[in-house]
Amino acid sequence: MPRRALPLLTILICADVFIPPQIVQAEQIQLPDGRAFLPPPPATNSHAQEADIQAYENSRSLQNSRRWKLATNDADLKPDHIIHDFSCAVGFQISPSEVPTLITVLNTLEKPLEQRITEEKKNWQRMRPFVGKNQAICTPDADKLSASFSYPSGHTTWGWLVASILSSALPERSTQIMQRGRVFGESRIVCGVHWKSDVQAGYMNGGAMFAALQEQPWFAEKMVSIHKELQAARLKAMPVDNATCTIEHEAAQESF
């Protein structure tokens, strides 16, 4: 090998050593584009828009109710928090320390998923239902939300994706888990920050993203670890809070 090639080889080897693994992984993430497969939001004066308005108006009476408080809780998307929201559904309290791979996956997906949803929202530029109205919402960031668009619901997309991951890892609890995923999305209607059709699109969005992720090698590998961690966590987990589970069960009986 020519002497002048040695420094270049050394640089390349060192470069490989210091490539952050999370950057390589991020490049492997492929998420479907909802701008192509989601239906457009309801047109003005359409029956679908009328149903959206009715759902928004009917849910205003829930302010300060137990359902309202659950919706306030569901507004927090931090990975540690959102997985705890599914404790009743999985049948035991999920501790972040017991499922490090799940937390890592959610952290890894956060930016790519947020970017994709932002692209989708900018495409349709739908205003949120509370904008221009003097009615309460169940989150403190009204100004920030007013400046962002509504369709599709990012919270619902996230919630449905998390539900899909947990359901795949714990198939024997899939009914309860997906029910909680639905309630999680409907919390955005209760909060008054999303239209009903925004939430419905979020379910479709999250489902499409999970379907795409399942065949990606890095994700499939992580799912094996997530399954093992959840099975191990179940054996030593604390029992669920029955009061919280009752509230979630009541919420699942409602319709919007």
Specify whether 47 is catalytic.
no
Strand, coil or helix: what is 134?
coil
Of 67, 126, 173, 188, catalytic: 188
Q: Does the active-site annotation cover 84?
A: no
Nearest CA among 159, 137, 150 for reference residue 81: 159
Q: Of 141, 101, 93, which is closest to residue 237 (Cα–Cα)?
A: 93
Q: Where are the beta strands (DSSP E) in 114-200?
A: none
Identify whether 194 is a catalytic site residue. Answer: yes
Fill in the DSSP letter of residue 94: P
Residue count of the chain: 256
* CB distance 51 to 238 below 8 Å: no
Q: Which two tokens stand for residue 61?
A: 């009476």
Report how far residue 193's alpha carbon sits from residue 170's, in angstroms, rounded to the nearest whole number: 31
| Secondary structure tally for the chain: helices H, strands E | 14, 0
Answer for the pair 193, 128: CB distance below 8 angstroms, yes or no. yes
User: 186 exposed, middle or buried (CB, 10 Å; 0-12, 13-18, 19+)?
Assistant: buried
Active-site entry in 52, 74, 85, 198: 198
Q: The tokens 């959610």 sit on which residue?
A: 106
Answer for the pair 49, 198: CB distance below 8 angstroms, yes or no. no
DSSP structure class, residue 194: S
Annotated catalytic residue: which of 67, 155, 173, 180?
Answer: 155
Q: Which residues are catalytic?
A: 155, 188, 194, 198
